[in-house]
Amino acid sequence: MTTLTVAAPPQTRKPRKPRPWLAMIAVIVIGLFAFGPVYWLIVTALTPSGDAFQFPPRLWPRTVTFEHFANLADNPVLGRYLVNSLIVSSLTAVLTVLVSAYTAYSFSKFRYRGRRSLMSLILASQMFPQALLLITLYLLFSAFGLLNSYLALVLSFTTFTLPLCVWMLKGFFDTIPDELLEAAKVDGAGQGSVIHRILLPVSLPGLVATGLFAFIRGWNDFIFALTLAGPEKQTLPPGLVNTYLGEFQAAWPDLMAASLVVSLPVVGGFVILQRYLVAGLVSGAVKG
Amino acid sequence: MPDNARQPKHLSDRTFGFLLTLPAVVLFAAIVLYPLIGSLTTSLFQQSLVIPGRSFVGLDNFRHVLDDQFWPVLQNTLVFTVFSTACPFILGFALALALNTRLPGRAVLRGAFLFPWVIPGVVVSFAWLWIFNANYGLLNGVLVQLGLIDAPVSWLGDPTTAMLAVIVAKTWASFPWIMVMLLAGLQTVPATLHEAAAMDGAGTLRRFWHITLPHLRGIIGIVVLLEVIWNFQHFDMIYVLTGGGPAGATTTFAVAVYETAFKGFDLGRAGALGALWLLLLLVLVVGYVRLAEREEKR
């Protein structure tokens, strides 16, 4: 893995005197720890059941099979979890982008009393323990008949994804010159059309990145879907736990295949938008 | 009051700016603030998840919780938090330093190393459940074949090793994020400083200590504090890996509050335990907000 032929991007500054051998040893050792489990996940998913359950385990498969992926497709329950995950994560992404765009615009371009406190409040809100909030959230959603509904999941996911998304977008809006927005106002555009005709179209890449991030957060959530949704509305993470870990002997190769399938959209989306997400994460955490 | 001549039909900028935050504020009030107050209030009542109605019991729930659950749970949470922050930090820092050199393909490596952090926590747990499996697990297989252990160990089933196993899995999932943050910080250290110091005869270690570390102080503080806050309330991986067991050996606050409320149906006690948990957490969160604000002003 240290002999990749991809050239490093041109440096804008000279790196300090390199110690490549030390760096390479570190990368190899940490690489084994980082990619060993990934390798094992993939190998197990491709190993016939008979070979997977033997000790000591075989480090590379004798024969490769796709039967475990076929097993997944045959299981209608998993299909339902998948659909639920897609619906809930997509709705979360849309709602999060809308709400965080308005909020981030407010924080970025307006000055009013209480703005700083609001920013701190929203930043701090992601840090309240969810298990504690769930005690009352469960009763609240129950009182409104919203237990076991998409709405309960979308509202919960959105609230806890908002803080980071607001900060990602605020960083984006900060780079948009005020003059651009002022010019539109001088031309007679109302406050609303400044947002919808100018700000949002100009920030499309940032909105897409934010939406994708929210989608991933919704896709990965475990505790809200576990608690607030029953089998009909549950998403993949709690769904897989209930399907595979409840049994006496778990079907490990099937579970590993399912794990790969669940990870796929997240990894794909992340590869596409890595640049935005990394920058957003850094600024979101530091520029609170 | 005469209207602002330039935008006669509109609200003032300040009012409009504030109104823009309303959707977020409403969500925050409904999903965070109200449940927070509600759950804290619950701690003063005897209340069941499944039976309607409740009765005021004062501080009884706190007394019960402090008598039997609180201290072991606090100890587990502290052990988990300290080691699940320190281990990934050391690993992430080492990797960030390694990837900040003239290593071939480092841009690709930086992206590839994020994989463990990107995949869902539940999937991470599945992978490690399988690796730690007592009968067919990869870890036992490797260790037995290397002669390091005589017989397979039930890593997650033994109270003495369960927490260690959970921390290893959590370390795997956390270190990539720390690496990215520290690498971003490292790239802001001016190379000229290092060159000048090297010219004056300062070795790698001295330059790391006197140039790199002071430059990273702010970002290290934020990364560590955020990790501590997150680990202090981590639920997903512990719940899937051990469910808090065996014999409560990995029961942290998050697992204990969840189990008490949704398996034991005892909302009062869950609320009391949660209130104590929140109190400890609040100290950390206030510290984080302070630190983040100071960093922004710099």
Question: Which ipTM was obtained for this model?
Answer: 0.84
- In a domain, residue A151? The reply is yes
- Do A130 and A272 reside in the same domain of the chain? yes
Give me the pLDDT at residue A269, please: 81
CA distances from A69 to A73, A262, B96 (A): 7, 12, 36
CA distances from A235 to A93, A178, B75, B258 (A): 15, 42, 33, 19
φ and ψ of A109, to 5 deg: -115, -5
Give which of A100, A98, A102, A107 is closest to A174, Cα–Cα.
A107
- Do A47 and A153 reside in the same domain of the chain? no
- Do A32 and A104 reside in the same domain of the chain? no
- In a domain, residue A275? The reply is yes
Nearest to B278 among A55, A129, A185 (CB): A129
- Do A123 and A33 reside in the same domain of the chain? no
- In a domain, residue B48? The reply is no
CATH number for the domain harbouring residue A90? 1.10.3720.10
Give me the pLDDT at residue B17, please: 86
pLDDT digits (tens, 9 = 90+) for A51-92: 878 878 888 888 888 888 988 888 888 899 999 999 999 999
Residues B231/B85, Cβ–Cβ less than 8 Å: yes
Residues B132/B237, Cβ–Cβ less than 8 Å: no
Distance CA A208, CA A75 (A): 33
Q: Render A107-124 in DSSP notation, one character per residue.
A: HHH---TTHHHHHHHHHH
- Do A38 and A147 reside in the same domain of the chain? no
- Do A111 and A226 reside in the same domain of the chain? yes
Contact list, A163 vs chain B (CB under 8 Å): none
**Which DSSP state fits B156?**
T
- Do A108 and A131 reside in the same domain of the chain? yes
Domain extent at residue A245: 69-286
Distance CA B123, CA B219 (A): 29
pLDDT for residue A206 is more than 80: yes
CA geometry: angle at A262 spanning B110 and A142, to 5°? 120
Taking only residues 170 to 229 of chain B, the set having a beta carbon closer than 8 angstroms to any beta carbon of chain A reads 172, 175-177, 180-181, 184, 190-191, 194-195, 198, 204, 207, 218-219, 222-223, 226, 229
- Do A59 and A106 reside in the same domain of the chain? no
φ and ψ of A114, to 5 deg: 90, 0
Contact list, B194 vs chain A (CB under 8 Å): 16-17
Distance CA A122, CA A162 (A): 8
Rounded CA Rg of chain B: 25
Do residue A40 and residue B130 have CB atoms under 8 angstroms apart?
yes
- In a domain, residue B111? The reply is yes
CATH number for the domain harbouring residue B197? 1.10.3720.10
Do residue B32 and residue A3 have CB atoms under 8 angstroms apart?
no
- Do A151 and A192 reside in the same domain of the chain? yes
Nearest to B219 among A14, A37, A286 (CB): A286
- Do A93 and A194 reside in the same domain of the chain? yes
The whole-chain average pLDDT of chain A stands at 83
Rounded-to-10 torsion of CA A221, A227, A229, A234:
40
- B198-236 exposure pattern, b = at least 16 Cβ within 10 A, e = fewer: beeebeeeebeeebbeebbebbbbbbebbbbbbbbbbbb
pLDDT in tens, chain B (298 residues): 444 444 444 567 888 888 988 999 999 999 999 999 999 999 998 888 888 888 888 888 899 889 888 999 999 999 999 999 999 999 999 999 998 887 888 778 888 898 898 889 999 999 999 999 988 889 998 998 888 888 888 999 899 999 999 999 999 999 999 998 898 888 888 888 878 888 887 777 888 888 888 888 888 888 898 899 899 999 999 999 998 889 899 999 999 999 999 998 989 999 999 999 999 988 887 877 777 777 766 6
- What is the pLDDT averaged over residues A157-164? 89
CA distances from B229 to A85, A129, A133, A213 (A): 27, 10, 16, 21
- Do B121 and B67 reside in the same domain of the chain? yes
User: In percent, how much of chain A has pLDDT > 90?
Assistant: 35
- Do B139 and B21 reside in the same domain of the chain? no
pLDDT digits (tens, 9 = 90+) for A82-120: 999 999 999 999 999 999 999 999 998 888 888 888 888
- Do A127 and A114 reside in the same domain of the chain? yes
pLDDT for residue A277 is more than 70: no
How many domains does the structure of chain B reveal?
2
Distance CA A251, CA A153 (A): 29
Do residue A128 and residue B11 have CB atoms under 8 angstroms apart?
no
Nearest CA in chain B to A113: B14
In angstroms, the first-to-last Cα distance of chain A is: 36
